Chains A and B, each alone.
Chain A
């Protein structure tokens, strides 16, 4: 009956993913609300820094309706840090310009659903870096937070390495190719890359769904945020 006993790489990779699914399961007796909690997972990459902030379910409503309130706010603080607040996914070029005015090398790229940037877009980003170097606490003070009123907020350190570029982009973690049973939540990915960022050539996302645009470097780990 046993025809294939060799453990292949697929099985090991699948095991690693499934272990993280198990680790993200809620404690006994507390049923998780579908869609929400797993999206709070942040992908923290060693060395260079990437923070995936999950914007959460229903984000389509506040993020896509521009409304009367401004889409973003960039403010320079007394201590030299820069605080960014994003309330809707519109006017990417305006946000990018404001960040640069504030002295932050930045690229802001919002993509419509089902689209992605043609790879390689950021592949030059991750040069080998010491695996033990501190993660995003260096570049972003206190991490990326999502405020109760649905804004994404983070504060950029004043001591950025000169060749770091801040990238703010939309992230669609849901598998494409099947009709979504519920509105597809959109997440914001906030990451720092080393060196320049190329021009985004917008293409259709692969059928398997848009993945995180960068292959995590060796040693990258998933960090689970609470609640």
Chain B
């Protein structure tokens, strides 16, 4: 995500369709890949992609620069939407938006959606491996190992400080090593967090 490109616009995306379009075009690919690292059903992926952006529109007014670059902010929203932590919210949002992402998918799109999902299969396998971590540790590790955020960005996406993010990441890595032998999972090259 090239978050800095659209940062001045974030507060406006809630009310200015053109500002929203700029924001959307910068981030839609990253959001779709973010979703594809977590779900393997193209229709569900389409729903979630739509829900993430609707949630972003709803939340844009509360965006504050200090809470991170727009990309990290959007990943935080995406994570909540995908994890179902805001399921009720998402349902209301969808009801207000009056459409679901899957309604916009036609056969031609399925090829692209499947391709994206296939491309992220290793990500999904890692995502499943994280299931047993504590919620806080998992969140940091997801954003760092799966989505490529820096530890600081992950912390801002989750609304926690950089130190707390490092601590959680360290714990997450340790427990994964203990239980699973992390290098075989492809997370041996995680950033060092000493």
Contact = CB atoms under 8 A, between A and B. Distances in A.
B124 to A, nearest CB: 14
B98 A9 contact: no
Interface in B1-56: 13-17, 20-21, 24-25, 28-29, 32-33, 46, 49-50, 53-54
A35 B112 contact: no
The SS class assigned to the B binding surface is helix
Given A18-B57, A22-B13, A178-B91, A4 B119 contact: yes
A41 interface: yes
Contacts, number: 100
B83 interface: no
Given A14-B49, A18-B24, A22-B13, A4 B32 contact: yes
Interface string B58-100: 0001000000000000000000000000001001101111111
Contacts of B25: 15
Contact of A181 (B21, B92, B101): B92
A22 B15 contact: yes
Contact of A23 (B17, B28, B50, B103): B17
A1 interface: yes
Given A19-B21, A22-B57, A28-B15, A175 B95 contact: yes
The SS class assigned to the A binding surface is loop
Interface residues of A, number: 35
B29 A5 contact: yes
Interface of A: 1-6, 8-11, 13-15, 17-23, 25, 27-28, 34-35, 38, 41, 173-175, 178, 181, 208-209, 211
Interface of B: 13-17, 20-21, 24-25, 28-29, 32-33, 46, 49-50, 53-54, 57, 61, 88, 91-92, 94-106, 108-109, 112-113, 115-116, 119, 148
15 contacts: A3-B119, A4-B116, A9-B106, A10-B106, A17-B99, A17-B104, A18-B57, A19-B21, A20-B17, A25-B14, A38-B96, A38-B98, A175-B91, A175-B95, A175-B100
Given A10-B46, A14-B49, A211-B103, 12 more contacts: A1-B148, A3-B33, A10-B113, A17-B50, A20-B17, A22-B15, A23-B17, A25-B15, A25-B57, A175-B91, A175-B94, A209-B100
